[in-house]
Amino acid sequence: MKKIFYYITALLLLQSCDYFTIKSDTREPVARVNDTYLYKDDLKNIFTKGATQQDSILLTKSYINNWIKQQLLLDKAQINLENKSVEFEGLVKKYREDLYINSYKEAVVKQYLDTVITSNDIDKFYSENGNNFKLNEELVKLRYIKIGKNVLNQKELIKLFKSSKKEDMDSLKAKELFLKSHHLNDSIWVKYSDLIAEIPIFKTIDKNDLLKKENFIQKEDSLSLYLVTVKQVLQRNEIAPKSYITPTIKQMILHQRKLLLLRNIEETLIDDANKKEQFEIY
């Protein structure tokens, strides 16, 4: 391994001075396993930018050791699994073909797929497929705050939270620093499971009692006070609101467009090849 170490050190010194140039006709080996060699220029891409010389030496030694183990295992496998060679070659050929085809499809999709989705597209998809978007758990629109039991302006915060006036809500938002946590946007749907995860104390409340429209709940533990106002509830198996599933709808629209684009490309490819008599079926 001393010889390898000298090769590594020389390589790093040359690299650090920006004088090292790889020439394919002057390759120098740094390791060998039977008739297979690892060359100095095989190591040029393993170094990380900004690494110290000591780190690079350790990285190189590790890479060489791993390469040796890999080659020894490969040689042993080729000897002991020689009867599998035809099968493996077929798998390699199939993988290579799939890699080319899928890479080509990805390039085509990237270049030609229409990714602009309008509100009309979303409305149309939702109206045609709404029944497929049934909820698997309850959704809630609510406001929620958690405040310390010893906070000086506790009564003021509770009063502002209970108020339905916009100016009071704006005042509460301006006092967010006094809140341990909060959710004040009651126009957004929240999953029941997320509500329970955020406010574990509500696990002690029966779900049916908690999930009531226009419901106000006040709970406390040894450290905090929890206030929740439930504005609206959707039960399991109800149709999910469009605003809640819009991200999913966008993904589904793009997926449909992608499948249609690829199908059209395949049909065009076959038609063109048929016209040019590029294939025959016997």
Q: Please state the length of the chain.
A: 282
Residue 11 has pLDDT above 90, yes or no: no
DSSP-derived secondary structure letter, 34: T
pLDDT of 46: 83
Give residue 53's pLDDT.
84
Confidence category of residue 117, pLDDT binned at 50, 70, 90:
very high
Q: Which of 218, 194, 185 is nearest to 139 (CA)?
A: 194
Amino acid at the residue 32: R
Do the beta carbons of residue 211 and residue 233 sit within 8 Å?
yes
pLDDT of 24 strictly over 80: no
Rounded-to-integer distance, Cα 144 and Cα 45, Å: 53
Query: According to the model, what pLDDT value does residue 17 have?
Result: 44
Q: Does the structure show a pLDDT above 90 at 86?
A: no
228: nearest Cα among 259, 192, 262, 270: 192
**What's the pLDDT at 121?**
96
Task: Please tell me the pTM assigned to this model.
Answer: 0.67
Complete domains list, the chain, with CATH: 2-80 (no CATH), 119-130+244-275 (no CATH), 135-234 (3.10.50)
DSSP conformation class of 227 = E
Q: Does pLDDT of 6 surpass 80?
A: no
Is 39 in contact with 27 (CB distance < 8 Å)? yes
Q: Where are the beta strands (DSSP E) in the chain?
A: 29-33, 36-39, 139-148, 179-183, 190-191, 215-220, 224-234
User: What pLDDT does 105 receive?
Assistant: 93
- 102 or 57, which is more confident: 102
Tell me which amino acid residue 95 is. Y
The reported pLDDT for the residue numbered 2 is 44
Residue 275 pLDDT greater than 70, yes or no: yes
Average per-residue pLDDT for the chain: 86
pLDDT of residue 3: 45
d(CA 40, CA 14): 12
Q: Would you call 146 exposed, middle or buried from its count of C-beta atoms within 10 A (0-12, 13-18, 19+)?
A: buried
* Window from 11-15, 36-40, 56-60, 148-152 with minimum mean pLDDT: 11-15
- pLDDT tens-digit series, residues 136-162: 999 999 999 999 988 888 899 999 999
Confidence of residue 190 (pLDDT cuts 50, 70, 90): very high
